[in-house]
Amino acid sequence: MQLSFAYPDDFAYRKGIRYGTIVIDADTKRTIELISDRETETVAKALKEYSNVETVSRDRSSAYAKAINQGILKAVQITDKFHLVKNCGEHMDTQLRKSFVQIKDELSKFINVPLPPPIASYSTIDNPEPVQPNKSQPSDKKRYLFEQVHRLSQENYSEREIVRHLHISRCTVRTYLSMNEPEGRKISFRNDYSIYLPIVQNGIQNKARISEIYRSVVNAGLPCTYVAFLNWMRTIFPEYKTFKGKGPRNSRVDSTQYDKTKSALKSLSSHKLNIYIANPEWGIDRKTGECSEEHIQMNKMIDSSNILLTLREFCVSFKTVMAGDSTIDLNDWIEKYKNEPLIHLRTFTTGLLRDLDAVKNAITYQYNNGLAEGLNNKLKALKRGMYGRASNRLLEIKMITSMTG
């Protein structure tokens, strides 16, 4: 069969379990064959029937690269640009998540705010740091079951009889019998709030709302949500209630110095950073050129972290190289990052070196895998419409004989 250009791509018979390969003729934009799996040996054997193919566009699969070399030795291989840029972003995101703790440390130093001096406690002057309780108060249901278990035990009921009578587990009965008083659940907090007690006590003395106290401690560097802080306040200061409505102007905590960039650190996520690293223009209105507040905040953070700046330069510069028409720029880019200390960036660059000819062809030739992805979606629709009741042969017939591509 005479073909000038072909696309091989994989598809799933059952996702994560069994895969096949679709082969497409770029000239007629039609499916020419469905291969039963995507293993190198099987695909190479099938491709030998198309020995006259001159050019093959594929994704970054090493199995397909080997299969094409074995089946169509003379064909020029082209790596799809979309998959290259996508793979670059995936490696950047993996490195971002791996270095996220180190990145937050860099950002914390950049936005660090000194704590105010300690002041007298709200609870008692003699005890400026209230002790955090280890356990909460037991619920009414737990108290009732505790009393019933002990009452039945005093009436000489066995453990089995108590279990049948109260419909609770035997372990619960033994636990209640071993205690003199019912106990609540253990209390534990992920964050260390002790260093922020002076700020909290200052807000309490000024009769500030809990939301205002929360903004103050976040501005000082506390990385937690409002709900978590509210639970801590209700545990340590149960007598202090949230004020509703507007309080007197002189009783409120001064929040004029509240920095939104500092508050953004507590809710910072690798997903949000990924967006602004890979897309520096994200958050800028295309018509007016106006920047959103989040765009300004995120760019401040990226500019203050060496790791984030490296990740942005890595991702943006690779997109620029792939959008250009010079393979020399690609060589310079690889030379710059092949010894990069960040391991996942170096891994991506090493992968490009192993497939360098096909990557260069992606710049030289104006081809992509868009047609293959479109017919792959059609194949998925047909496969799902058959509900797994037909053979691979029928699926192949439906794809090959279809008059709509």
Query: Domain with 36 in it: what CATH number?
Result: 3.30.420.10
The number of CA neighbours under 13 Å toward the Cβ of 77 is: 22
**Boundary (domain end) residue, out of 224, 258, 292:** 258
42 located within any domain? yes
d(CA 57, CA 5): 8
Is there a single domain that holds both residue 45 and residue 89?
no
pLDDT confidence bin for 332, thresholds 50/70/90: very high
385 located within any domain? yes
**Residue 316 to residues 275, 277, 309: CA-CA distances in angstroms?**
12, 8, 11
| pLDDT computed for residue 212 by the predictor | 87
pLDDT digits (tens, 9 = 90+) for 244-293: 444 444 444 444 444 555 555 666 778 888 899 999 999 888 888 898 88
184 located within any domain? no
Is there a single domain that holds both residue 285 and residue 330?
yes
Structural domain count of the chain: 4
Residue 113 neighbours by CB distance under 10 Å: 11
What tokens appear for 244 in the block?
Answer: 């509703």
Is there a single domain that holds both residue 297 and residue 350?
yes
d(CA 22, CA 344): 31
Is there a single domain that holds both residue 274 and residue 356?
yes
Is there a single domain that holds both residue 34 and residue 159?
no
pLDDT digits (tens, 9 = 90+) for 67-110: 888 888 888 888 888 999 999 999 999 999 999 888 888 887 76
Exposure string of 335-350, with b = 16+ CB inside 10 Å and e = fewer, is eebeebebebbbebbe
Residues of the domain holding 237: 113-132+191-258
d(CA 277, CA 319): 12
In whole numbers, what is the pLDDT of the chain averaged over residues?
Answer: 80
- Asked if 12 and 22 touch (Cβ cutoff 8 Å), the reply is no
**Boundary (domain end) residue, out of 149, 177, 205:** 177
- Asked if 255 and 215 touch (Cβ cutoff 8 Å), the reply is yes
Q: Which is it for the CA torsion 252, 253, 254, 257, positive or negative?
A: negative
Is there a single domain that holds both residue 350 and residue 379?
no
Is there a single domain that holds both residue 168 and residue 43?
no
Is there a single domain that holds both residue 246 and residue 118?
yes
405 located within any domain? no
What tokens appear for 122 in the block?
Answer: 């709200």
356 located within any domain? yes
264 located within any domain? no
Is there a single domain that holds both residue 165 and residue 216?
no
Is there a single domain that holds both residue 223 and residue 202?
yes
| pLDDT computed for residue 240 by the predictor | 80
248 located within any domain? yes
pLDDT digits (tens, 9 = 90+) for 102-155: 888 888 776 654 434 433 333 433 344 555 555 667 788 888 888 999 999 999
Is there a single domain that holds both residue 40 and residue 165?
no
Is there a single domain that holds both residue 296 and residue 395?
no
pLDDT digits (tens, 9 = 90+) for 34-67: 888 888 888 888 888 888 888 888 888 888 888 8
309 located within any domain? yes
